[in-house]
Structure 1
Amino acid sequence: MYPNRQRLGAFLLICFIHSLTVSAVNASDDARQTPLVKAVQKCQESVVNIHTEKNSKEDTESRFFTPKPRRVTGMGTGIVVDERGYIVTNYHVIHDVDQITVTLRNGDLLDASPVSFDRKQDLAIIRVKSPKPLPVMDMGVSSDVMLAEQVFAIGNAFGYEHTVTDGIVSAIGRDVEVDETQSYENLLQTSAAINPGNSGGPLLNLNGEVIGINVAIRAGAQRIGFAIPIDDARRTVARLLSTERLNGLSHGVFATDVQVNNEKRLVIDTVTPGSAAAICGLQKGDTVTTVRGINIADNADWERSLLDIPVGRKLDVELLRDGQPVSLTFTVGGGTNSRNVASNSNSSTAVKTVSTARPANTSTARTTSARQKTRQLLGLQLALLTPNETAALVSTYIGGVKYSGGMKIVGVDRGSKAERHGIRKGDLLLGLDRFETLNDRNLTYILQDSRLAKMKTLEFQIFRDGKALEGQIDL
């Protein structure tokens, strides 16, 4: 009897040792699946490589004395922010180029076109037409980034596509001046290797979430790179994806990106009376959670959820009101701000031309009010462009983008803010606060008191002598 027990004990001991051996092998395999490896696997499909081409200045040293332009290539990286092919990158990646080509992770090559940009913030939106939805990058928050936190970058480093480098957050809140025309504020500094071609690509945490957009390196240094914090970048992306700007449709919502712990929420501040949002039933204090199935974390998500949706389409909106879930229906283009929107086929910015169907007396009152307010605030006297003037403008590329039009500056009041900032009679006003100024309705939206109350400066774009010029007016 006891010998049998000894044999049974020996057998169990052998089984136990075998299980430990198998576990050790499995543990060895699992050890390769580090948090960094898992994070890269999670997000790499949402990173694209960008290649650009443009004509250089004429080659004056041609041996046969027949100067010819040369093709100059460039490279950068982009992040998918909407499944329909909207991609964010740095403005300097696509500035003044003739052709943009995007390479997906699976090797597919797609032509891209510029949509909108912000030169000062050095961010731009481009778009590709993909036969299938693209995976959208998960967005993190940058306000809780920790010094020495491990991070990694994915990018088109020196043309080596989808290169992964890792490092730490070396510093927070860096101000960097590149040259006389470009400077950055509040950047993240990282030791993850950033090289030419990484511009516009993501700086990510170990959860595979974007915490920054790589933008600059320190020339001559090693492992000193800089990224725009994602919280700052997303505010710019929201403006660049604005349905007012790109589709000519106002939704009537003014909201704030509110951070709770390490999560963002979109909380409504005000709703314009009579707007599509008001008719939908949205109210001040509501937290929007989803629109047509898209999770809403900030204003950028809100804008893209409504972007390019046909007028009259009804969308499901889920929100929290006083902590309770509420379901509403939003009608695109509804309300008193609705418009007849016609696509401008000549515009690569996806901006639409708009016309307003209103009684004559109401339209005149709006026109007078909008231009009077522009003059009182800025000292600008404006007039609508003629059809021929508009056609000449939209046929011209300005900084790599085609505009849908503008307004003519027929006078500048002496001593006004506009005069002090170099705006002249004869310039064309292309935009204010990064919104195009095509007509009086645009002015009315941009110069609402509720919007101006939150601004310290008002950015402007003008067209002069074939060039787009930008500046800021202190309010």
Structure 2
Amino acid sequence: MPSIVNIHSEKTARDNGTLFTKGRKVNGMGTGIVVDERGYIVTNYHVVADVDVLRVTTFSGATYDAQVVSYDREQDLAIIQINASGPLATMPLGTSSDLMLGESVLAIGNAFGYTDSVTGGMVSSLSRNVEVNEKQAYKNLIQTDASINPGNSGGPLVNLDGEVIGINVAIRAGAQRIGFAIPVDNARRVIAQLLSIEHLCSTYHGLIGRDVKQGSLREFRVQQTKSGSPASEAGLLPGDVIIKVGTIPVVDAADFERACLGQLAGTVLDVVIERKGVPQTLKMELAALSGQPSHSIARPDRQPTPTTLTSQVRPLERTWKMFGVRLEKLETAEERLVGTKYRGGLRVTQVRQESPAQRNGIKKGDILVGLHLWETVNLDNVSYVLDHPQLRTFNPLKFYILRGGETLYGHVRIAAAQK
């Protein structure tokens, strides 16, 4: 099972419910599935949410620090990344649309910390809606009697052909042999969104496509291309079937995004298509999103730094309006947080009453050192996050502040940018 990894985490549990209080350390565990040989792994969002430390152990026994690069809270899926010493094995994704009641399945994962545990069972029911708590409800789950235990979350539910047909997500408390998994067809769509280069790399291709399944075959077809986009300029047309991009075979949207992932603006990719049954190769040159130089947030730094300003529309006032704070850059060497892991930060000089920042405990004098996956060394960094085209997918924003020499964090929900 070289494509299945074990996930270990540490997070701080705050006993009295207040945002900025010291709490006790809690260890967590889960499972992940390698979806790209470069170290991209899909798991459940609840496995990695709000963790302070995240590590992944591969099938070989090697352990790596991991970073959350994107997530969908509602769908309870996340992509994490490790910098492995070499290419990782991936696991084939099957289909869940043709599952039958009574079909044999296996659940694989880090059950109770026992790595690479396998349990067997069958598909007990389909299209189950499950409310775990007042904050998390699932729709259209696969129910199975294969034992899914704590630590299995994020691991695969596989058929007897070894294909992933679901991602294990929940168990029924107090019941035996009642577990649930997200259907892989649903997960495919979310994974494609989470691997989107517009989200992770600030480059774009401008192609809108759809996954098509014909019998046992899958293919990725072009629906439309945005005018003036790289896909349009390459000559891609609605109805084209994309066979390969660069060296990566493509059968769905996730494959297409993987093939573009990590490529800088200006990179020219060979796109092999089939048009009316005739294969041909087109050239697609990736472009920077919104005309900005590309940079990747999917890299090992804990909080990567955006270096360009996405919008110049009154950034100070928009930060005040959307976030509710006024910020100033730290100037002196001492203020630049020498002796900490941070390269710099922004001092909070004013907090607006009843603003998102005030409601979430941010105070005058705090040093804002990070938002979501990015550090905040200057005001451009904050504007970049507030203007990000994928803001909705990572809102509420996780923020990091320094107060009294201690790093604290919380979450703040902000309105979409008004430009």
What TM bracket, shorter-length normalisation? 0.7 to 0.9
| 1:280-291 superposed matches below 5 A | 280-291=234-245
What residue is the counterpart of 2:156 in the other structure?
202
Name the CA shift for 1:330/1:355 in 2 (closer, same or farther; >3 Å): farther
Question: Which amino acid in the other structure matches residue 264 of structure 2?
Answer: P
Instruction: Report what 1:438 is aligned to.
Output: 387
Counterpart of 1:163 (choices 109, 117, 129) is 117
Alpha-carbon offset, residue 470 of structure 1:
8.7
Match of 1:461 in 2: 395
2:77 to 123, 128, 135: 123
Alignment partners' CA distance in 2, 1:120 and 1:285: 31
**SS of the counterpart of 2:2?**
helix
Identity of aligned residues (%): 45
Note the alpha carbon deviations across 1:38-89, whole angstroms, 9 max, x for none.
xxxxxx1100000111233379xxxxxxx97532111000000111000000
Greater Rg over alpha carbons, structure: 1
Counterpart residue type for residue 467 of structure 1: H
Q: CA deviation at 1:264?
A: 2.3
Q: CA deviation digits over 1:340-398, x for unaligned, max 9?
A: 12467996466855457xxxxxx99xx79xxxxxxxxxxxx879998859955995567
TM-fit CA distance, 1:281: 1.6
| Equivalent pairs, count | 358
Structure 2 residue aligned with 1:147, among 97, 101, 106? 101
Task: Tell me, yes or no, if the aligned pair for 1:316 and 1:329 is still in contact at 8 Å.
Answer: yes
- Cα displacement (A) at 1:330: 1.8
Structure 2 distance, partners of 1:258, 1:343, is 30
TM-superposed CA distance for 1:338, in Å, is 4.4
Residue pair 2:200, 2:296 contacting (<8 A) in 1 also: no
Q: Which amino acid aligns with 1:241?
A: L
Letter in 1 for 2:395: Q
Q: Deviations over 1:177-214 (max 9, x none)?
A: 00111000000001111000000000001111111000
**Is 1:255 aligned to 2:212, yes or no?**
no
User: Would you say the 8 A contact 1:154–1:162 is kept in 2?
Assistant: yes
1:402 aligns with 2:373: yes
State whether residues 72 and 393 of structure 2, in contact with CA within 8 Å, keep that contact through their aligned partners in structure 1: no
Deviation at 1:468, TM superposition (A): 3.3
Q: Which amino acid aligns with 2:5?
A: V
2:272 aligns with 318
Q: Are the counterparts in 1 of residues 322 and 415 from structure 2 also a CA contact under 8 Å?
A: no
Question: For residue 294 of structure 2, what is the aligned residue in structure 1?
Answer: 341
Query: Does the C-alpha gap of structure 1 residues 396 and 125 become closer, same or farther in structure 2, counting only changes over 3 Å?
Result: farther
CA-based RMSD = 3.5
The alpha carbon displacement at 1:315 in A equals 1.7
Give the partner amino acid of 1:233. Answer: A
More helix by share: 1
Preserved CA contact (<8 Å) 1:152 1:167: yes
For residue 256 of structure 1, give the secondary structure of its aligned residue in structure 2.
Answer: strand
CA contact (8 A) 1:274 1:337 kept: no
Answer whether contact 1:172 1:188 (CA < 8 A) is retained. yes
Structure 1 position 469, deviation (Å): 3.7
Counterpart-to-counterpart distance in 1, 2:13 and 2:261: 35
> Which AA in structure 1 matches 2:183?
P
In structure 1, give the amino acid aligned to 2:48.
I
For 2:304 and 2:33, the matched residues in 1 are separated by: 19
Kept after mapping to 2: 8 A contact 1:248/1:353: no
CA contact (8 A) 2:204 2:286 kept: no
Runs of 4+ in 1 over 6 A off after TM superposition: 344-347, 381-387
Cα 1:343–1:190 change in 2 (3 A) is closer
Contact map agreement 1:188 1:212 (CA 8 A) in 2: yes
Helix, strand or coil for the counterpart of 1:148?
A: coil
**What 5-or-longer segments of structure 2 have no aligned partner?**
315-320, 330-343, 347-356, 358-366, 400-409
Q: How has the CA–CA distance of structure 1 residues 395 and 314 changed in structure 2, closer, same or farther, with 3 Å as cutoff?
A: farther
- 1:151-187, Cα deviation, whole Å (9 max, x unpaired): 1011000000000111111101000000111000000
Taking a change above 3 Å as real, the CA distance of residues 385 and 326 of structure 1, as seen in their structure-2 partners, is farther
Could you tell me whether the CA contact under 8 Å between 1:429 and 1:463 is conserved in 2?
A: no
Higher relative contact order (CA 8 A, sep 6+): 2
2-structure distance, mates of 1:189, 1:245: 32
What is the 5 A alignment of 1:423-434? Answer: none
**Contact 1:154–1:202 at 8 Å: present in 2 too?**
yes
The aligned counterpart of 1:41 is none
Match of 1:23 in 2: none
The answer as to whether partners of 2:240 and 2:273 remain within 8 angstroms in 1 is yes
Q: What SS does the corresponding residue of 1:145 show, helix, strand or coil?
A: coil
Return 5+ residue gaps in structure 1 as ranges. Answer: 1-43, 60-66, 357-362, 369-380, 409-427, 431-435, 447-457
Aligned partners of 2:103, 2:43: CA distance in 1, in Å? 24
| Equivalence for 2:2 | 45
